[in-house]
């Protein structure tokens, strides 16, 4: 039977991710923004009638990467607060800068820069947690990325909202305005246990259950955070979340650097997911998360870039490689977190953590056509014995040649299709002059 398609993509290797396999000389057919067929090119190509036919003879084709935790609007502060531990970083640099500069235009322009960087690096989905999410959504829609917009909740006032009730009101109203928009999803995003009260957490839990929303939260990022939680409430932050009814399959815990054996088992038993941000954790001196133990416990894991104020890059390739190498170094086991697991976390693991595992994260018929192609033909990529390990330990975002989001070709032959890079450079330069002058 003939398969009608808008595009047929042939590649030297296709990595569907679910189930795990490598298809040598594979092909993927797309129609109406979705994947309609995947398999060996010799079998699939003769059956497909496609409007466009892309041939990538030296490339690997895999699902688009999922950045499961970012603060995209902060991209205009890249490198602004380097070489400081978390609380000094926040209190002395980040929060004062945000108080002066963060408003809708700042968030819009920062998110535009972040989206361009992520797309060029093969990220097709990102989960955001920041102020003025309307502005971030508009930027993501313009760029064509799939976005999970976090509805931020804090107790203290910012330029965005006055108090926890105002944050919740604004966030839920925003969700109502944008509900049904293509490529847009939502989470509730209480910032962290040290910035959110018990009564607000109770409201968050109620809204999450009523609206079927996941809860995206920083948790156990530093030893000081855990100690502060014990001093204030008499219990560790994760125990507090459990007591307040937030621990379940809807919870997405970010960082989780300082977890005990019992806490890892608790998260696994409740079906919660975790997002690992290894580069940010290293740069802020927060520590090294127990990734191998999370995976061994059966926890769903994704990777995140965090902000470029604590990382300097929205680069999932760097997160993958760093995560796999740290897991080996910490455990003393060279087999810990092999390439297959790292690739899974960067794609389907992140999508599943965000509640999007049925929509994206793997190359399967029926799913959104969120794809990236990696050019492995260069001399600096030779020789190549195992494409999965090569992608994690050798290739990087500079090898990404093409990116599709919902079937739309957003990066072609390394060139961004959805925004003007000269305009983005000018925006960044203008903001840099303003911020540096203060």
**Angle (deg, nearest 10), helices 133-143 and 104-120:** 40
Is residue 225 located within the same domain as residue 250? yes
Report the predicted TM-score, pTM, of the whole model to 2 decimal places: 0.97
Whether residues 179 and 271 share a domain: the answer is: yes
Which helix (H) or strand (E) element contains residue 184?
strand 184-190
Which tens digit of pLDDT belongs to each residue from 285-343?
999 999 999 999 999 999 999 999 989 999 999 999 999 999 999 999 999 999 999 99
What confidence category does residue 1 fall into, taking pLDDT thresholds of 50, 70 and 90?
low
119, pLDDT greater than 90: yes
Q: Is the pLDDT of residue 240 over 70?
A: yes
Residue 291 falls within a domain, yes or no?
yes
- DSSP-derived secondary structure letter, 236: -
Work out the mean pLDDT of the chain and round it to a whole number.
Answer: 96
H-assigned helices in 234-360? 237-243, 261-269, 278-283, 291-297, 316-331, 339-344, 350-353
Looking at the structure, do residues 121 and 250 belong to the same domain, yes or no? yes
The verdict on residue 373 lying in a domain is yes
pLDDT in tens, 135-159: 999 999 999 999 999 999 999 999 9
Q: What is the CATH classification number for the domain harbouring 201?
A: 3.20.20.140
For residue 355, the SS3 value is coil
Domain identity same for 77 and 53: no
| Residue burial 337-376, b: 16+ Cβ < 10 Å; e: rest | bbbebbbbbbbbbbbbbbbbbebbbbbbeebbbbbbbbbb
Note whether 98 and 194 are same-domain residues: yes
Q: Is residue 125 part of a domain?
A: yes
Q: Predicted confidence band at 108 (pLDDT cuts at 50, 70, 90)?
A: very high
Phi-psi region of 118 (alpha: psi -120 to 50; beta: other; left: phi over 0): alpha
Average pLDDT over residues 358-363: 98
86, part of any domain? yes
Does residue 216 fall inside a structural domain?
Answer: yes
What's the number of domains the chain is made of?
A: 2
| Adjacent-strand bridge partners of 371 | 63, 404
- Pair (120, 183) in one structural domain: yes
To the nearest whole percent, how much of the chain has pLDDT over 90? 92
CA distance 360 to 27: 18
* 273 and 387 part of one domain: no
For residues 26 and 47, membership in a common domain is answered with yes
With a cut of 70, say whether residue 176 has pLDDT above it. yes
Whether 86 shows a pLDDT value over 80: the answer reads no
Both 58 and 75 in one domain: the answer is no
Q: Are residues 393 and 259 in the same domain?
A: no
Which CATH number is 31's domain given?
Answer: 2.30.40.10
DSSP 90: I
* Domain interval for residue 14: 3-63+363-406
pLDDT at 375: 98
Model confidence at 87: pLDDT above 70: yes
Q: What pLDDT shows up at residue 335?
A: 96
Which range, of 82-91, 337-346, 367-376, averages the lowest pLDDT? 82-91
The neighbour count for residue 310, using CB atoms within 10 Å, is 25
pLDDT of residue 313: 96
Same domain, 150 and 22: no
> What DSSP string runs through 31-64?
ETTEEEEEEEHHHHGGGEEEEEEEEEEEEEEEEP
Q: Examine the domain organization and report whether 208 and 305 are in the same domain.
A: yes
Q: Return the C-alpha torsion angle 385, 313, 323, 224, nearest 10.
A: 170
């Amino acid at each position: 039977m003939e398969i009608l398609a808008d595009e047929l993509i042939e590649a030297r290797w296709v990595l569907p991710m679910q189930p795990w396999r490598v298809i040598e000389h594979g092909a993927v057919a797309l129609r109406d923004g979705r994947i309609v067929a995947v398999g060996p090119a010799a079998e699939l190509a003769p059956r497909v009638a496609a409007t466009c036919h892309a041939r990538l003879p030296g490339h690997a084709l895999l699902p688009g990467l999922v950045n499961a935790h970012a603060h995209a609007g902060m991209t205009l502060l890249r490198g602004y607060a380097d070489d400081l531990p978390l609380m000094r970083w926040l209190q002395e640099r980040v929060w004062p800068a945000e108080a002066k500069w963060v408003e809708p235009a700042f968030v819009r322009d920062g998110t535009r820069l972040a989206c361009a960087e992520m797309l060029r690096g093969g990220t097709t989905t990102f989960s955001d947690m920041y102020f003025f999410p309307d502005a971030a959504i508009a930027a993501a829609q313009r760029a064509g990325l799939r976005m999970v917009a976090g509805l931020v909740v804090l107790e203290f006032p910012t330029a965005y909202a006055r108090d926890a009730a105002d944050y919740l009101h604004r966030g839920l109203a925003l969700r109502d305005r944008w509900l049904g928009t293509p490529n847009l999803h939502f989470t509730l995003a209480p910032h962290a246990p040290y910035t959110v009260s018990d009564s607000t957490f109770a409201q968050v839990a109620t809204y999450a259950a009523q609206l079927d929303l996941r809860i995206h939260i920083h948790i156990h990022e530093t030893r000081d955070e855990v100690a502060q939680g014990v001093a204030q409430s008499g219990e560790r932050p994760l125990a507090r979340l459990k007591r307040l009814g937030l621990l379940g399959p809807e919870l997405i815990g970010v960082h989780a650097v300082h977890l005990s054996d019992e806490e890892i088992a608790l998260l696994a038993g409740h079906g919660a997911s975790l997002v690992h941000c290894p580069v940010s954790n290293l740069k802020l001196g927060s520590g090294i998360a127990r990734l191998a133990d999370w995976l061994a416990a059966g926890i769903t894991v994704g990777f995140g870039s965090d902000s470029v104020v604590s990382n300097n890059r929205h680069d999932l390739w760097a997160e993958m490689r760093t995560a796999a190498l740290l897991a080996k170094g910490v455990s003393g086991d060279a087999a810990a977190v092999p390439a297959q697991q790292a690739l899974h976390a960067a794609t389907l693991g992140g999508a599943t953590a965000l509640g999007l595992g049925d929509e994206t994260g793997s190359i399967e018929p029926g799913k959104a056509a969120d794809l990236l192609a990696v050019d492995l033909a260069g001399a600096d990529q030779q020789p190549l014995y195992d494409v999965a390990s090569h992608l994690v330990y050798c290739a990087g975002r500079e090898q990404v040649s093409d990116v599709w989001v919902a079937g739309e070709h957003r990066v072609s032959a390394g060139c961004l299709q959805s925004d003007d890079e000269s305009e983005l450079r000018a925006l960044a330069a203008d903001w840099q002059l303003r911020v540096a002058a203060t």
